[in-house]
Structure formats: structure tokens, C-alpha cells
């Protein structure tokens, strides 16, 4: 399995002959979708889901399929046969790649801001993308795609989430809200110079890839 980091919360996953793109939102280069077999969307916020771009990708490739929650699926009306609504406890396969769904709600930003639904995706039992939540996967995974910074989190929560989830490796995502200085500070806290998470930190730049074995 090989993962490539794209803008903000988006990663491209290649597993054998199957390519899956997770959360190609408004901060992601549209090229991330080129040649994808499937797209997984965790929730409806624009930094994870860009409707016009995804519709264009569906129109350009009749074989492309989407798995997401019911709220996003409703936004993609007209492509119903190619868009699958899933939720907590569901499981499916994409070209032999097993995917299971975990979590239900976006983390709270503020009590006055309504929460939206949010699902996390566990791929091949070893790579977990939680979307915008600190959902703990059903077992310690090899690689956790870690929401590094968001309006709904603070550094201590990020550190404690990695500790609770127990991955072997954490790969930061969701960092577009940080300046370069802020990114350096946050990765230092989550990395070996911080209080410790028990996980290796693998920081990927835009377009950089990591082989998961």
C-alpha cells in the first residue's frame, strides 16, 4: 500500500491495481482525482468535499464510484447509482481493498455551531482516516492519518488521541490552517521532541508518498 499526501485532508491510496482518494476538498489539487477508482468523503465541509469538482470527475469517468455519509450522498443527487451512502459499522470492498466505516459525528467546534455527521474509513485494517473527529479505530492500526490542527482541537487533544488510538505511525493531515511556523510547532509537539505519543511521526509534504509495505 502506498499513500500520497495532497492538499489539507486529502490522501491518495494505491493498493495493487486499486486507487482510492480520500477527502479531495477545496484545498486539494484536482489532479489528485486523476485515474482514481473510488473516492471516500468523510463529511460535507468544503475542505473535505468540493461538489462541483467531484461531479466533474464523475462525469469524466463513468467507472468512478463514491462512498460517503448520507448528507454528502444527498448533495450528489443524480449520480445515485455511483454514490453509496454508508455509516458506522458498514463494510465494503473496492477492487479487493476492504474498507470499514467508523464514527458518526464531527467534533464540536462550538456549542452554538450545529454539528454535522462525519465518518472515518479504515482501509485494509491498517490505514485509518478519521475525518474531522478523534474517532478511535476498532484496533491499533499501522498508520493513522492524524488531523493535526483544526478549529475544533488543541494540541493536548491531538497528542492524547494518538496515545488512545495506538498506531505504529501517525501521518499529519488537516494542516492547511497552520502557517509554516505553526506547522513546525505542532509537529514538534506531536513528534519525538514533545511529551510522547508512542507513535512514529511521518510528515509528508504536498505530493510526497510513503510506502506502507
In Å, what is the CA distance from 13 to each residue of 152, 157, 208? 26, 27, 12
pTM above 0.85, yes or no: yes
Pairing of strands 209-211, 83-85: unpaired
> What kind and span of H or E run contains 187?
helix 180-190
> What integer pLDDT is reported at residue 80 of this predicted model?
61
Mean pLDDT, 10 residues at a time, the chain of 213 residues? 97 97 96 96 98 94 96 86 95 97 98 98 98 97 98 97 98 97 97 96 97 89
d(CA 105, CA 94): 24
Q: Residue 111's CB: how many other CB atoms inside 10 A?
A: 7
DSSP 8-class letter at 162 = H
Pick the CATH number of 2-204 from 3.20.20.70, 3.40.50.10860, 3.60.15.10, 3.40.50.300: 3.60.15.10
39 and 58 in contact (C-beta within 8 Å)? Answer: no
Amino acid at each position: 500500500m502506498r499513500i500520497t499526501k495532497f492538499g489539507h485532508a486529502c490522501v491518495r491510496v494505491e493498493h495493487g491495481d486499486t486507487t482510492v482518494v480520500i477527502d479531495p476538498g477545496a484545498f486539494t489539487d484536482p489532479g489528485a482525482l486523476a485515474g482514481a477508482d473510488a473516492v471516500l468523503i468523510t463529511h460535507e465541509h468544503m475542505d473535505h468535499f468540493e461538489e462541483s469538482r467531484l461531479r466533474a470527475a464523475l462525469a469524466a469517468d463513468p467507472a468512478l464510484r463514491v462512498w460517503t455519509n448520507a448528507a454528502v450522498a444527498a448533495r450528489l443527487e443524480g449520480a445515485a447509482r455511483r454514490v453509496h451512502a454508508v455509516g458506522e459499522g458498514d463494510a465494503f470492498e473496492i477492487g479487493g481493498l476492504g474498507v470499514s466505516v467508523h464514527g458518526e459525528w464531527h467534533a464540536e467546534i462550538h456549542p452554538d455551531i450545529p454539528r454535522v455527521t462525519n465518518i472515518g474509513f479504515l482501509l485494509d485494517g491498517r490505514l485509518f482516516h478519521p475525518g474531522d473527529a478523534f474517532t478511535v479505530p476498532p484496533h491499533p492500526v499501522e498508520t493513522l492519518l492524524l488531523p493535526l490542527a483544526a478549529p475544533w482541537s488543541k494540541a493536548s487533544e491531538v497528542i492524547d488521541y494518538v496515545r488512545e488510538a495506538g498506531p505504529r505511525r501517525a501521518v499529519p493531515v488537516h494542516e492547511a490552517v497552520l502557517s509554516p511556523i505553526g506547522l513546525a510547532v505542532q509537529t514538534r509537539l506531536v513528534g519525538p521532541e514533545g511529551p510522547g505519543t508512542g507513535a512514529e511521526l511521518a510528515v509528508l509534504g504536498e505530493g510526497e508518498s510513503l510506502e506502507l509495505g
